[in-house]
Amino acid sequence: MFLQDVTQPNLDTLRGYVAQTNVAINGRGTAIVTRENILLTNVVGIPSGRGIAAELQGVWLVNIYAPLGAEK
């Protein structure tokens, strides 16, 4: 599951799931959540928190938060 606008770097309350988060200094970010038995590797995030990527069995999963509208 890809999450955007994440405000907590620790999502341990999701029992049975593991969350890889990328929350920036401004307190907002992105996350990739998987079942406990799914192993993600090479997890990387961009400093702004607006993107996180991870590898799953040779396939890259990429979550980018790019809101529409008047924001720059």
Q: Answer yes or no: is 70 within a domain.
A: no
Q: Answer yes or no: is 9 within a domain.
A: yes
Q: Please report, for residues 1, 26, 69, 70, the alpha-carbon distance to residue 61 in angstroms, rounded to integers and kept in the order given.
A: 10, 24, 25, 27
Global pTM reads: 0.85
Q: Answer yes or no: is 19 within a domain.
A: yes
Q: Answer yes or no: is 6 within a domain.
A: yes
pLDDT mean for each 10 residues of the chain (72 residues) = 88 87 91 95 95 96 85 59
Q: Answer yes or no: is 71 within a domain.
A: no
- Between the two ends of the chain, the Cα-to-Cα distance in Å is 26
Q: Answer yes or no: is 72 within a domain.
A: no
Domain count, the chain: 1
Dump pLDDT digits (tens) for 40-59.
999 999 999 999 999 999 99
DSSP 17-70: EEEEEEE-TTS-EEEEEEETT---EEEEE-TTSSEEEEEETTEEEEEE----SS
Domain range enclosing 12: 2-64
Q: Give the largest Cα separation in the chain, rounded.
A: 40
